[in-house]
Amino acid sequence: MPSCSQQAVLIPNSAKQLSQTTLDPGPNKNYPIIQPPMETHLKRPDGSAPSPISEVLASLRKEHFIPRHEAKAWGDWIYLAAYSTVISIECNNGLSSTATIEHGENEEEGEPITSLHRAFARLGWVGMDDDGEFPLE
């Protein structure tokens, strides 16, 4: 049980995300701060068919993103115009079942993350963390 001098400061999130604890470097070093993650892992539920990359891109467009898909030697990426957040997406023969949203600086909460979750949830995707699957909406 934490003592009175060790209290957690929680940052509210609209969706359950991976937890990462760091210590406050300020004058009172006894207060842990829970930082939002720098990435969110997404996947199709077990037993579900993969999504065509064209459907992923169409769902992102429905959320008013301007996505650009690039296949690289080290993996496929989706870049979003006007955002530094990117999506690393596993794509085999035009089909995908896993992705990682790599949050841009100052884009860890709110937009574009909320809309990205809606876009993938529309296709039946779920988030993944240490506790297992969680809904994106």
Domain spans of the chain, in order of start: 37-134
In this prediction, residues 98-108 reach a mean pLDDT of 90
CB–CB of 18/40 below 8 Å?
A: yes
User: Residue 47 has what DSSP assignment?
Assistant: T
Q: What is the mean pLDDT of the chain?
A: 80
Measuring CA to CA, which residue among 58, 98, 96, 57 is closest to residue 79?
Answer: 57
Note the CATH number of domain 37-134. Answer: 3.30.160
In this prediction, residues 68-90 reach a mean pLDDT of 94
The yes-or-no verdict on residue 41 having pLDDT over 70 is yes
In angstroms, the CA 122 to CA 72 distance is 26
Tally helices (H) and strands (E) across the chain.
Answer: 2, 10
Q: Decide the pairing of beta strands 75-80 and 67-72.
A: antiparallel
Q: Is 54 exposed, middle or buried (0-12, 13-18, 19+ CB in 10 A)?
A: exposed
Whole-number percent of the chain with pLDDT over 90: 63
Written as one letter, the residue type at 103 is H
Instruction: Give the global pTM.
Output: 0.72
